[in-house]
Amino acid sequence: MNVTPTNLPGVLVVEPKVFGDARGFFLETFQAERYAKAGIPGPFVQDNMSRSVKNTLRGLHFQNPHAQGKLVSVTRGAVWDVAADVRVGSPTFGQWFGLELSEDNKKQLWIPPGFAHGFCVLSELADFQYKCTEYYLPQHDGGVRWDDPKLAIPWPVKEPLLSAKDLKLPTLEEATALPRFEQR
């Protein structure tokens, strides 16, 4: 597996080793010891999957307290995936990283606790999977608007399909329950 750091400390792009032949392919999507050595700690306590249609935009979401680290990938279709640093006091506060995750490139993105996460579906349909380091706790659910001008994320869709919840998210400036940066 190849692990590449991004412009956001702790956010990592993972390219699993793929073994393919005329029958198809095999790859490890997770192996605790190998991923821990690469900087992706566990334990993971919850796996989630979503299916979304083209132009769906989900995010930008985080949980505070009980921040979730997320290891995300796409098993069907393609998405443009984004991690944004919303940790108050972080040297990279307000910065983001984005990349395409797809069934073809088989890449994964590690998003450490405290970062907001979102994605936009590029294909007709996408199945999105993520492993989480904390349980989902709706009472601690938070988020930031997808089109926040301070973040200025160039989403690949002009009029996304959004949930009612995501339509009501605050801007980074308006958000009151942001996670705090913790020096490690």
> The domain that contains 141 carries what CATH number?
2.60.120.10
| Beta-carbon count within 10 A of 59 CB | 25
Distance, in Å, from the CA atom of 86 to the CA atom of 92, rounded to the nearest integer, reads 9
Report strand pairing: 12-15 vs 57-63.
unpaired
Query: Which pLDDT belongs to residue 147?
Result: 97
Predicted confidence band at 42 (pLDDT cuts at 50, 70, 90)? confident
The confidence score (pLDDT) of residue 22 equals 97
Q: How many domains, the chain?
A: 1
Q: What is the DSSP string of 44-81?
A: --EEEEEEEETTBEEEEEEESSSPPPEEEEEEESEEEE
110-159 pLDDT per residue, tens: 999 999 999 999 999 999 999 999 999 999 999 999 999 999 999 999 99
Percentage of the residues of the chain whose pLDDT score is greater than 70: 99
Indicate which residue of 35, 117, 130, 135 is catalytic: 130
Instruction: Quote the CA–CA distance of 133 and 151 in Å, as a whole number.
Output: 25
What are the φ and ψ backbone dihedral angles of 86, each rounded to 5 degrees?
-115, 20
Query: Is the per-residue pLDDT at 184 higher than 90?
Result: no
Burial of 95: CB neighbours in 10 Å, binned 0-12, 13-18, 19+: middle
* Catalytic residue flag (residue 136): no
pLDDT score recorded for residue 183: 79
The encoded tokens of residue 74 equal: 């796409």
Residue 35 annotated in active site:
no
- Domain housing 80: 2-167
Its pTM stands at 0.96
Residue 15 lies in a domain: yes
Kindly name the residue from 35, 61, 117, 140 that is annotated as catalytic: 61
pLDDT one-digit tens code per residue, 148-163? 999 999 999 999 999 9
In a domain, 172, yes or no: no
Across 44-64, average pLDDT:
98
For residue 183, tell me if it sits in a domain: no
